[in-house]
Chain A
Amino acid sequence: MTAFRIPGKGRIDHARPVRFTFDGRVVEGRAGDTVASALLANGIHLMGRSFKYHRPRGAVTAGSEEPNALIRTARGRGRAEPNTRATMQEIHESLAAESQNRWPALAFDVGAINDGLYMLFSAGFYYKTFMWPRSFWDRVYEPLIRRAAGLGRAPTDPDPDLYASRNLHCDVLVVGGGPAGLAAALAAARTGAEVVLVDEQAEIGGTLLSEPHLVIDGQPAWDWLAAALAELGAMPNVRLMPRTTAIGYYHQNMVGLCQRLTDHLADPPADAPRERLWRVRAGQVVLAQGAIEKPLVFDGNDRPGVMLSGAAQTFLHRFGVRVGRRAVVVTTHDSAWHTAFDLAAAGVRIAAIVDLRPGVDGALTARAAALGIEGLTGHTVTDTRGRLRVSGVRVNPVADGRVGPGRIVPCDALLMCGGWTPSLHLFSHTRGTLAWDEASGAFLPDRKTEACQIAGAGRGLWGVAAALEDGAKAGAEAAAAIGRATAPGTFAVQGDRPGTGLVVRELPTDADPGRAKAFVDFQNDVTAKDIRLAVREGMRSIEHVKRYTTTGMATDQGKLSNINGLMIAADALDRPAPEVGLTTFRPPYTPTSFGALAGYRRDGHFEVTRKTPIDPWAEAQGAVFEPVALWRRARYFPRPGEDMDAAVARECRAVRTGVGMFDASTLGKIEVVGPDAVTFLERMYTNPWAKLGVGRCRYGLLLGEDGFIRDDGVIGRLAPDRFHVTTTTGGAARVLSVMEDYLQTEWPDLDVWLTSTSEQWAVVAVQGPKARALLAPFVQGLDLSEAAFPHMSVAECTVAGFPARLFRVSFTGELGFEVNVPARHGRALWETLWQAGQAHGIAAYGTEAMHLLRAEKGFIIVGQDTDGTVTPQDAGLSWAIGKAKPDFVGKRSLVRPDIVAPGRKQLVGLLTEDPDVVLEEGAQIVADPRQPVPMRMIGHVTSSYRSGALGRSIALALVEGGHGRMGETLHVPMPGKTHAVRVTGVTFYDPEGARLKGEEVPA
């Protein structure tokens, strides 16, 4: 047992020692300890160095609001986390803890030189100090600041831990497991409502864990707590969640919870997630977050050994740890007197209780006197002594606003209390308004925006009896709001410690306040004089003061500092606090790991990757893939030794001279069915459909209302009332929703329905002069001859024994078929054709060859050769417009003055003067390369390839007035050289379309 641990006291397991390391040294604690309580039990207060001045720091709190004791925790490779709060991390045998922001050692830190240079680091110093010379910024100041900024080291190894997510619905969510939260949960749960009670601590109980002397309903507090938890735990409608932080309160009563599952375990089970993010939708939320104790602001208030009085009380009662041997208490609130009495009873010598208030409750002073404690009312604290641990405190009398001479009181712990701030962070997330309460000197909840109740110390109440009653009332009101009325219970509490306090700014001092290191924000090293300086330099709003000084901007979001900062700023501005305002709290309530937010979305599940039924074959063949929307598609199929150009050239050659096959399964497919199907298509697409015969196909062009091209695809008529519509891969979902939108909002009278069949069918494209020869032997129930099944035909038949929809279409300019079979048969069909194709020298080709083949024919790709500002005329697709149709989507826009004006960018072909030059896609086009820079750009290259079939490069481009520039020479500036190009039509290969017929199969 260590010197500061009290045998048998607290809620830790004294029989179970637990060893961990701190800065490499083995420290022994007890099961149930946090790192902070275990270190304190060993007399260690020094736990870290501050951010800016590298001042020695120790734990100032016992909870999640801790600004100082931030450590690095680790357990093996990749499992390291900086800035863990030592007051929250439970110890276990696998834990390695390290202090931060020090070099070479915690006790001797070179960076502490900043502390002596503190005059350089005043508020806004980085706006002033690093201004000149200008040239120093990039090379000297910024690298320096970047190295100095931030606490701790970010881990660099991949995080091997798992993180989980859940959705949860409940009637009542209670946030906070102190007396108010427990009473609320009991009241609501007893009505049968489904209740979730969360608490960020390892143990539910809140302040009851630190006040064992209380007697509630005749039971000692801890017995009452155990009974309450047992009752709640036994109810099937209740879920108790310790180690769970409500991190954010979102719209419509959704609350985000982060549950810590394994950080406290020495040997977590396999596959157990480290943390779980819960998205809770609650009928009613009860916020019972309690209050956070305020530090006092005085010179040297940050030395290790200076901590909040409530923290000392928690370390004593919950962990059985004395925070020192000889303590001084400095306070403006009654609660610290009780802490002093509890510590005295546990054997801590209380050297003095210093209270700024001239008079306090006589019962307190009498009790102090009885215990032999010097009660110094009307006194202030003006300085502390000690380096790595407080060794004394300077105490001065205050009378009539004047500070008298000081004396040093030796001590090894200084416990401070400046009153309590209601914790309203989650309420603030809802944009609920706060109102300043002059009496308590605190902001309290005012107007609510969500279905929530606020109970207990969180709305400014004081004392356990008040909290219990208020909690029960809130729980009953929450239950009533969901239709389960009940009467709130009552509680008999003995030993309650009602108290009052005084809200102050800096403590009065006889020293020069301009030299005082009186900290307001411990984590960001902001002092009272920084805030006063900010006001002197013109900051008026608390939001400006915050950003200028960085007070409240650390990871604790000013849980300790905001009200002190506000009171000091208000004083400097000579305005009332509510006029100066309070900064906004935002989620998360406490720092939350990226892992918890990412959940399952990591590695293979980072994003959905859609794959076709033929994808595994392509993968086995060594295909190189590219992402297209959420799909991955085979881009090319390199043979050993081939690069992309060589593979693509070979694939194209096979299609042009023999036969190639292509996985077109990702194409969007929509089945348009109903008596009004043809009317619907007439209205949606530019083309005419009424006269399209059953068994025939047509290219369809879809515009937006603005007349610009949105999508295209081949549409086949399977029956008078049934069309098989194809869309681009990336446009599939968008086109369906646009169609549904028109159908439901504009033409609800049409009897036509749309069904996505994109994934019903696997599609194998067979293209090339020998396509018919390959396919014909497998087709049953259909004559594939040119006469019987000409270009742009569709039929239902059987292919290789599978039911199929067979299209005769071509995106390559060669004889082509697209075989649609039910998706489960896609791979079998593919492999059958692949085997049979070997005799024809078949090649599988990917999207790259497909792009090249269509570019040789001048077929556009929507989104590559169009950019949302291209009309059918611009693209040279006027032929696709049904001139006689009364209307279609976008028709009226096609006659707008700007759309018919000359000079629009139009799609043309470009041939470089040097046939070996392949232009860069996206390259700009100019008319005259000798004009001064910046040149006038008249267009850009949209597609560009080296064509094997043509033995030269080809390109498509959008050029101003392009259709009128045929034969003109234009210029394309590229890195190193400007290339001359000749404007041509877009069809480079087989302009007559003779190849569409392919080779007839010999009879």
Chain B
Amino acid sequence: MTVHLPPLAEAGVTLTELPPAARFSLRLRPANRKAAAKGLGVALPERVGGIAEGKGRRALCLGPDEWQIDAAPGDTPDLPADLPHALVEITDREITFRIEGPRAMELLSIGIARDLRRLVPGTGCRTAFDGISAVLVREGEVAFTLAVWRSFAPHVRGVLEVGLRELASGL
């Protein structure tokens, strides 16, 4: 279900809708972070925005007690029942876009107010795109993923497409 837009090479950036894999929201007290990480097979970063990977899973810290866990399709993490936590699947809640290219940051700046240059590659954050709550990850120097709730995705995609044409226009 990857949607590629018509070639907009001039825009210097591509917009792709990623197929759903598996995504979970993990909540637990900071004191239980390390114990939970052992069960998950991936470290739970302490610093908000931090990302860790392991065992095919990826953990993004979104708050002192909140992590987004990304996994392969069908992979459901399991944590010890005696460890107080909440693990809730949100795979279908969200649509994730990949925005990649030399002008990716410029494209995102049409809807995101924060200083994207200060988002270090390999970190992420919860932010807003055009007023819509979103999780942004800087996957690489010029590559980002932007996840929004499903029903907001058409609006976000539409605005990004206008932005792509704007970049391609050269002005």
Contacts and interface: CB of A to CB of B under 8 A. Distances in A.
Nearest to A262: B171
> In this complex, which of A165, A674, A823 has the most chain B Cβ atoms within 10 angstroms of its Cβ?
A823
Contacts of A169: 115, 117
Nearest to A609: B155
A671 B169 contact: no
B171 A272 contact: yes
B151 A674 contact: no
A951 B81 CA distance: 55
Contacts of A671: 86, 88
In the complex, which range does the number of interface residues on chain A fall in?
Answer: 35 or more
B130 A610 contact: no
Interface stretch (A531-539, A546-554, A754-762): A754-762
A751 interface: yes
B154 interface: yes
B165 A751 contact: no
Nearest to A825: B92
Contacts, number: 110
B168 interface: yes
A823 B109 CA distance: 30
B90 A757 contact: yes
Nearest to A674: B86
Contact of A822 (B65, B87, B91, B152): B91
A760 B94 CA distance: 8
A611 B152 CA distance: 8
Interface string A674-709: 110000000000000000000000000000000000
B47 interface: no
Given A166-B110, A169-B115, A281-B115, A271 B90 contact: no
A166 B109 contact: yes
A604 B130 CA distance: 14
Contacts of B65: 753
Contact of A756 (B28, B87, B93, B155): B93
Interface string B142-171: 000000011110110011001101101111
B60 to A, nearest CB: 15
A642 B110 CA distance: 45
Contacts of A759: 92-94, 149-151
A60 to B, nearest CB: 32
Nearest to A194: B117
A273 B112 CA distance: 19
A611 B130 CA distance: 18
B53 interface: no
A673 B79 CA distance: 13
A608 B29 contact: no
Nearest to A604: B158
A760 B87 contact: no
A608 B155 contact: yes
Contacts of A823: 92-93, 150
Contacts of A915: none
B16 interface: no
Interface string B82-111: 001111111111100000000000100110
Given A608-B155, A671-B86, A269 B169 contact: yes
B88 A167 contact: no
B92 A673 contact: no
A167 B159 contact: no
B112 A167 contact: yes
B132 interface: yes
Nearest to A822: B92
A754 to B, nearest CB: 8
B155 A162 contact: no
B86 A273 contact: no
A757 B158 contact: no
A110 interface: no
A604 B163 CA distance: 14
Given A604-B158, A673-B87, A611 B151 contact: yes
B27 A755 contact: yes
Contacts of A273: 166, 169, 171
Interface in A743-772: 751-753, 755-761
A608 B90 contact: no
A169 B119 CA distance: 13
Nearest to A602: B162
Interface string A226-259: 0000000000000000000000000000000000
A53 interface: no
Contact of A824 (B20, B86, B159, B171): B20
Nearest to A601: B130
B20 A760 contact: no
B88 A757 contact: yes
> In this complex, which of B89, B150, B155 has the most chain A Cβ atoms within 10 angstroms of its Cβ?
B150
Nearest to B90: A760
B106 to A, nearest CB: 8
A608 B92 contact: no
B39 to A, nearest CB: 16
Nearest to A170: B115
Contacts of A281: 113, 115
Contact of A168 (B20, B27, B94, B109): B109
B159 A600 contact: yes
A432 interface: no
Contacts of A757: 88, 90, 93
A279 interface: yes
Interface in A596-614: 600, 604-605, 608-613
Contacts of B151: 610-612, 631, 759
A321 to B, nearest CB: 29
11 contacts: A166-B109, A167-B113, A269-B171, A600-B162, A605-B158, A612-B151, A631-B151, A671-B88, A673-B86, A755-B86, A759-B93
Interface of B: 20, 25, 27-29, 65, 84-94, 106, 109-110, 112-115, 117, 130-132, 149-152, 154-155, 158-159, 162-163, 165-166, 168-171
Interface of A: 162, 164-169, 261-262, 268-273, 279, 281, 600, 604-605, 608-613, 631, 671, 673-675, 751-753, 755-761, 822-824
Given A167-B110, A600-B163, A824-B20, 20 more contacts: A162-B166, A164-B163, A167-B113, A169-B117, A272-B166, A272-B171, A600-B110, A600-B162, A605-B158, A608-B152, A609-B155, A612-B151, A631-B151, A674-B84, A752-B86, A753-B85, A755-B86, A758-B93, A759-B150, A823-B93
Task: Give the top 7 A-B pairs by smallest Cβ distance, nearest first.
Answer: A753-B27, A673-B86, A610-B151, A753-B86, A169-B115, A272-B169, A823-B92
